[in-house]
Amino acid sequence: MSYNFINGKQLLEICRKEEKKIWEILILRELEETDTTYEAIMERMDKTISVMDRSIEKGLQGDQRSLSGLIGGESHLLEEYRKKGDTLLGDGVLKAAAASMAVLEVNASMGKIVAAPTAGSSGIIPGGILTLGKERGKTKEEIIRSVLTATAIGLLIARNATVSGAEGGCQAEVGTASAMAAGGIVELMGGSPEQVLTAAALTIKNLEGLVCDPIAGRVECPCMKRNAIGTVNAMLCADMALAGIQSIVPFDDAVDAMYRVGRSLPYTLKETSLGGLAVTKTGLAITMELKEKNEKKKKRNS
Amino acid sequence: MKSLGIFDILGPIMIGPSSSHTAGANRIGQVARQMAYGDILFAEVNLFNSFAKTGQGHGTDCAIIGGLLGMKEDDEDLKNALQIAKKENFSYQIHFLDAEEEHPNTAEIKMTLKNGEQLQIKGNSTGGGAIQIVEFNNMKVSFSGSYFTVIVRYLDSPGMIYQIAKVMAEHNVNIGFMDVNRESKGQEAVMVMECDKAVEESVIKRIKRDIEDIYDIYIFNPIKDVG
């Protein structure tokens, strides 16, 4: 029996035939492909999740400043606002969004994070899955299974498209992380493997076409807030899938569309900072200012 | 090519903000430190292209100096690496350069060791924290640092590859990837072997003892996957 699924359709077939969940198939695949053990995988998952947990906590304290000084403290502001009680999205969603921003603040200030799948999209899985898990009193094992389910989605996208902003734009980074989180959330809430892939498909479709245009090439603006929308999008799509809503375009086709859109995006909108927000009047002014600051620092160093 | 696994998607556990400009740069520094066995008197670091242009915004300078100081990509002190270097009297220079012929994210490290030896490596950061070492002592090489790696400097002559591989085989070491290069015929040559398991000191001693014209051998432990 080979567990080495290469697309979503195949993954679902294996799940049906073996009567197993996606996370179980992913573990069986890993055991088949490498010489690792079940215990080693679990130990590393445990460590990964604790790093994610700590990055949320650290970011929410509100004292992280990014290397450029462009961002820092926003997640704390959102949390303080939420605690006052009169919000539009409500506690569950806003808590998750704030957590995802917290991780990006930590990342931008040279703190410790887990790239999931990339550093620029590292807030979405912790924000979406870990925050919800805690809210709903889920066990560590349940959270690990949910993150493994998310990882299976990421693996399929990395294999059949790309998870790099330089290759596919932000839809490939934040879009992928969002799809991963949506799948993980469905698993956490007791959904079926089919619902996991439906949620992931809906998520990808919602963020299709999103470009990567960071100001001054920093993983800061708009990345932090994009992580928040990635998280909220994941929760919305998970809810839709759990409600029994179908994705008219199935997962594999959605991944394919995302990849083709990514390839046809111009070079200027793929992590080069030559287009979009990066070349607005504001974007250029910030770029100039940071450049001057850097030149001074370089002179001091060399 | 090896298929992707769980922790290729989930990870690395790293200091932000960028897997290529921070984690990858740090790993190039880690390889250099292992090569020098930590005995670095002075290091000259040349950052090229995107590493030079956007590197400081991504902490590339801290990350690479941190690697030279023995810090890994998940070390929370990485952001203070330049101050730590000063405190430990670690002597270095960083240059920011442009070179069209180089990979976008390239770092070259030239080291003077405490015993007077000079070492040079050049590495590329290829994305997601992965690296490729492309030059060693100004000779073209190619290895990822994610395997147990043995580098042998020797005099180019018939049968050297056979003799070295034979010792490895006798110690049951499987060579996954091998790369051989030389300055010119009959001059110094470099062999890089990426192996599936740790190569014991005794194997290295035997190669040095039994085979003539071996100049030096360097062994590395894999630097991938803190976690």
pLDDT tens digits, residue range B49-88? Answer: 888 888 878 899 999 999 999 999 999 999 999 999 999 9
| Residues B19 and B68 grouped into a single domain | yes
| Residues B213 and B173 grouped into a single domain | yes
Residue A300 predicted with pLDDT over 80:
no
Residue A166 predicted with pLDDT over 60:
yes
Residue B36 within any structural domain of the chain: yes
Nearest to B11 among A115, A297, A301 (CB): A115
Residue B208 within any structural domain of the chain: yes
CB contact under 8 A, A114 and B13: yes
Residues of B in contact with A158 (CB under 8 A): 4, 8-9
Residue B222 predicted with pLDDT over 60:
yes
Task: Check residue A302 and give its pLDDT.
Answer: 60
- Containing domain of residue B83, as a range? 15-136
Distance from CA of B69 to the nearest CA of A (A): 17
Cβ(A45)–Cβ(A151) under 8 Å?
no
CB contact under 8 A, A113 and B16: yes
Phi, psi of B10 (to 5 degrees): -100, 90
Residues of A in contact with B96 (CB under 8 A): 298, 302
Among chain A residues, the shortest Cα distance to B225 is held by: A44
Q: What percent of chain B is predicted at pLDDT more than 70?
A: 97
Distance of alpha carbon A77 from alpha carbon A101, whole angstroms:
11
| Residues B94 and B191 grouped into a single domain | no
Residue B227 within any structural domain of the chain: no
Among chain B residues, the shortest Cα distance to A31 is held by: B5
Among chain A residues, the shortest Cα distance to B93 is held by: A302
- What tens digit of pLDDT does each residue of A171-215 get? 999 999 999 999 999 999 999 999 999 999 999 999 999 999 999
Residue with the bigger pLDDT between A296 and B13: it is B13
Residue B204 within any structural domain of the chain: yes
Residue B163 predicted with pLDDT over 70:
yes
Residue B227 predicted with pLDDT over 50:
no
Task: Check residue A295 and give its pLDDT.
Answer: 82
CB contact under 8 A, A44 and B227: yes
- What tens digit of pLDDT does each residue of A110-123 get? 999 999 999 999 99
Residue B1 predicted with pLDDT over 60:
no
CATH number at residue B109: 3.30.1330.90
Mean pLDDT of chain A: 96
- What tens digit of pLDDT does each residue of B87-146 get? 999 999 999 998 888 888 999 999 999 999 999 999 999 888 889 999 999 989 999 888
| Residues B126 and B192 grouped into a single domain | no
Q: List the beta bridge partners of residue B43.
A: B92, B111
Q: What percent of chain B is predicted at pLDDT more than 90?
A: 72
Residue A51 predicted with pLDDT over 90:
yes
Cβ(A254)–Cβ(A204) under 8 Å?
yes
Side chain identity at residue B212, one-letter code: E
Distance from CA of A147 to the nearest CA of B (A): 9
| Residues B196 and B84 grouped into a single domain | no
Q: Residues in chain B, how many?
A: 227
| Residues B107 and B196 grouped into a single domain | no
| Residues B78 and B125 grouped into a single domain | yes
Mean pLDDT of chain B: 91
Count of A–B CB contacts within 8 Å? 132
Q: What percent of chain A is predicted at pLDDT more than 90?
A: 90
Residue B164 within any structural domain of the chain: yes
Distance from CA of B204 to the nearest CA of A (A): 26
Tokens linked to A82 = 């939420």
> Please, which residues have CB within 8 angstroms of residue B34's CB and are 6 or more apart in sequence?
B218, B220, B221, B223
Residue with the bigger pLDDT between A77 and B223: it is A77
Task: Check residue A284 and give its pLDDT.
Answer: 97
Distance of alpha carbon B10 from alpha carbon A154, whole angstroms:
9
Between CA A143 and CA A147, with CA A146 as vertex, the angle to 5 degrees is: 90
Residue A1 predicted with pLDDT over 90:
no
| Residues B81 and B184 grouped into a single domain | no
Task: Check residue A136 and give its pLDDT.
Answer: 97
Residue with the bigger pLDDT between A168 and B104: it is A168
CB contact under 8 A, B54 and A67: no
Residue A289 predicted with pLDDT over 90:
yes
> What pLDDT band is residue B4 in, cutting at 50, 70 and 90?
confident
**A27, A29, A31, A301, best to mutate vs chain B, most B CBs in 10 Å:** A301
Residue B205 predicted with pLDDT over 50:
yes
Nearest to A114 among B10, B58, B62 (CB): B10
SS (H, E, C) chain B: CCCCCHHHHCCCEEECCCHHHHHHHHHHHHHHHHHCCCCEEEEEEEEEHHHHHHCHHHCHHHHHHHHHCCCCCCCCCHHHHHHHHHHCCCEEEEEEECCCCCCCEEEEEEEEECCCCEEEEEEEEEECCEEEEEEECCEEEEECCCCEEEEEEEECCCCHHHHHHHHHHHCCCCEEEEEEEECCCCCEEEEEEEECCCCCHHHHHHHHHHCCCEEEEEEECCCCCCC
| Residues B22 and B87 grouped into a single domain | yes
Question: Hey, what CATH class is A22-301 in?
Answer: mainly alpha
* Number of domains chain B contains: 2
Among chain B residues, the shortest Cα distance to A290 is held by: B57
Nearest to A110 among B4, B16, B53 (CB): B16
Task: Check residue A204 and give its pLDDT.
Answer: 98
Residues of B in contact with A106 (CB under 8 A): 16
Residue A65 predicted with pLDDT over 70:
yes
| Residues B92 and B202 grouped into a single domain | no
Residue that is last in its domain, among B76, B103, B136 = B136
| Residues B77 and B19 grouped into a single domain | yes
Residue owning tokens 């995006």: A265
Which of A80, A99, A233 lies closest to A170 in space, CA to CA? A233
| Residues B131 and B155 grouped into a single domain | no
Which residues in B have their CB inside 8 Å of a CB on A?
A: 3-19, 22-23, 53-54, 56-59, 61-62, 74, 76, 78-79, 82, 93-96, 127-129, 227
CB contact under 8 A, B4 and A30: no
